[in-house]
Amino acid sequence: MAKKKSSADNGATPYDILVERILFGDYAPGMSLVEQDIARELRLSRTPVREALLRLKLEGLVKIIPRGGIYVEEANVQTIRDVTEVRLVLEECLLRLAVDRCPDALLDEIEEWFKRLEPVWSKLTPRQWLERDDQFHQFLYRAGGNQTLAAHLTLLRRKSVLFWSQLGERHNSLEAIIGDFRAIVAALRDRDAETCVEVIGRHVLADLDRIQRFLKPTPMKLTRFSAE
């Protein structure tokens, strides 16, 4: 197994390191993960690595086949559709909370973040773009002020990112995604819950559409629910 730059030396846990490598494509879909090799590379015992892999299995990022090995999950349209149906409900709930709770100071912080990135959006690598996408959603979690909701959405988004990161067209849709981000911030500033919900729904469904077009699955109806 090739040695990665990340290691437990920087204070990251084995779980954090493995999540990063999976989501950013260092561990390719379907790749075999050998517990002993990872433990040796990170200079750790096998126990924390095993615990991290079991946690990733529960989160749907790896699959463990008894006496058959451990593998990075591959794109599965049914799973991403399942995830999308739940995300639509929870993201709507989050944004409605954010409209009521988000302080102006946080909106100012987000807008400063946009200004710093404005000159470099088109120059970001896929890995850097995924990092910025995560940063924006972390802002929304802070705006919603509900840690339990944020934790559930983090797990769901990781499944989405797992599949989205396998696509080759990320930058083709970058302009639309940034537009969604800006529209959400503007709607939060106006305390406009309906626009927030409309934009986040469009954003989540666009992720699903990109993955479906990439995998070319048999069409399947997606059921939408309301958090109200």
Whole-number pLDDT of residue 11: 72
Answer yes or no: is pLDDT of 207 > 80: no
Among the residue ranges 56-60, 79-83, 158-162, 219-223, the one predicted with the least confidence is 219-223
Whole-number pLDDT of residue 174: 76
> Looking at the chain, which residues constitute the CATH 1.20.120.530 domain(s)?
77-215
Whole-number pLDDT of residue 118: 87
> Looking at the chain, which residues constitute the CATH 1.10.10.10 domain(s)?
8-72
pLDDT band at 216 (very low <50, low <70, confident <90, very high): low
Among the residue ranges 67-76, 89-98, 137-146, 188-197, the one predicted with the least confidence is 67-76
Whole-number pLDDT of residue 165: 63
Distance CA 156, CA 86 (A): 8
Whole-number pLDDT of residue 183: 97
Which CATH architecture is the domain 8-72 placed in?
A: Orthogonal Bundle (1.10)
CA distance to 33, 126, 178, per residue, from 117 (Å) = 35, 15, 11
Tokens representing residue 19 in the block: 């999540």
Whole-number pLDDT of residue 67: 87
Give the type of residue at 36.
Answer: Q
pLDDT band at 152 (very low <50, low <70, confident <90, very high): very high
DSSP assignment of the chain, as one string? -PPPS--GGGT--HHHHHHHHHHTTSS-TT-EE-HHHHHHHHT--HHHHHHHHHHHHHTTSEEEETTTEEEE----HHHHHHHHHHHHHHHHHHHHHHHHH--HHHHHHHHHHHHHHGGGGGG--HHHHHHHHHHHHHHHHHHHT-HHHHHHHHHHHHHHHHHHTT-S-GGGGHHHHHHHHHHHHHHHHTT-HHHHHHHHHHHHHHHHHHHHHHH-PPP---------
Q: What is the pTM of this model?
A: 0.80
77-215 to CATH, choices 1.20.120.530, 1.10.579.10, 1.10.10.60, 2.10.25.10: 1.20.120.530
Answer yes or no: is pLDDT of 213 > 50: yes
CA distance to 27, 43, 75, 88, per residue, from 52 (Å) = 15, 15, 21, 28
Answer yes or no: is pLDDT of 6 > 70: no
Q: pLDDT, tens digit, for every residue of 17-65? A: 999 898 888 898 899 999 999 999 999 999 999 999 999 999 889 999 9
Q: pLDDT, tens digit, for every residue of 56-112? A: 999 889 999 998 999 998 877 788 888 899 999 999 999 999 999 999 999 999 999
Distance CA 116, CA 109 (A): 11
